Amino acid sequence: MRDDMDFLRLDLQVCFPLYAASNLFGRLYRPVLARLGLTYPQYLVMLVLWEQAPQSVGALGERLHLDSGTLTPLLKRMEAAGLVTRQRDATDERRVLVGVTAQGAALKDAARAVPATLAGGLGLSADELADLRATVQHLVGVLATAEAEVA
C-alpha cells in the first residue's frame, strides 16, 4: 500500500477534525460561559430547559446525546449550584424531572449574547454558519442512526 493511501494517517481521518473542532469550540466557549458561571455541558442543559421545562432526565439525554451516567452527575452539580431542580415524577417514580430555578431562569437574558459573541469571533458569514450547522446536524443524524443499528 502506498503511503498516501495509508488510512491510519491522522490527516485522512474524518473523526479527528471533528474532535479537534469540538475541543477548539470548547476553548472558545469557556471564557464566555465562565462569565455566566456555566460549563459548556451545563450551557447545553440550560438551552434545552429554557426551551421547555421540566424535562425528564431521559429526554434531556436524548436531546443532548448523553447517557444518564454522564448526565446525572452534571445535573447534581447544577442542582447544588442552584440552577435546576430534580424531583421524581409523581406519575412515574422511575422518572426524574429536571426544572429550572429562578436563578437558572435569570441566566437566560445574559446568555442571549453567547451565540453572537462566538459567531463574531469565527469570521464566518451567516450563510456559512447556517451551511456548516446543517452539514454537522446531518452528520449527527447519520451517526445516531449508525449507533442505533450497531447497538
Q: Is the pLDDT of residue 116 over 80?
A: yes
Residues above pLDDT 70, as percent of the chain: 97
Residue with cell 436524548: 62
pLDDT at 113: 94
With H, G, I as helix, E, B as strand and everything else as coil, classify residue 140. Answer: helix
Taking alpha carbons only, the member of 48, 28, 31 closest to residue 108 is: 48
pLDDT at 102: 98
In a domain, 40, yes or no: no
Amino acid letter for position 134: A
Q: What domain range includes position 141?
A: 122-151
Examine the domain organization and report whether 51 and 100 are in the same domain. yes
pLDDT at 138: 96
Examine the domain organization and report whether 106 and 130 are in the same domain. no
pLDDT at 134: 97
Examine the domain organization and report whether 105 and 142 are in the same domain. no
With H, G, I as helix, E, B as strand and everything else as coil, classify residue 85. Answer: strand
Examine the domain organization and report whether 21 and 52 are in the same domain. no
Cα–Cα distance measured from residue 1 to residue 4, given in angstroms and rounded to the nearest whole number? 8
Q: How confident is the model at residue 121 (pLDDT cuts 50, 70, 90)?
A: confident
In a domain, 8, yes or no: yes
